[in-house]
Amino acid sequence: MFYITVFSFGLFGQIVYSRLLQSTGRSMQSMVLQLLGTIINLVLDPLFIFVCVVFQL
């Protein structure tokens, strides 16, 4: 439960930061940061999934 609470604050911070950028007229920077996060997620998810399956972590 502790990890869920900690990571939910990080998610909340990301949403607030994104909305602050959009409200100050920097919507392009907000979009680029979200795309960067998506690309990193697409690359790391299979890596972590297969590493955990192979090494049974």
Domains of the chain: total: 1
| Domain span at 32 | 2-55
- Per-residue pLDDT at 35: 92
Say if residue 5's pLDDT is above 70: yes
Pairwise CA distance, residues 40 & 29, whole Å? 17
- Per-residue pLDDT at 57: 64
Tell me the mean pLDDT in the region 14-26.
88
User: pLDDT-derived band of residue 50, with 50, 70 and 90 as boundaries?
Assistant: confident
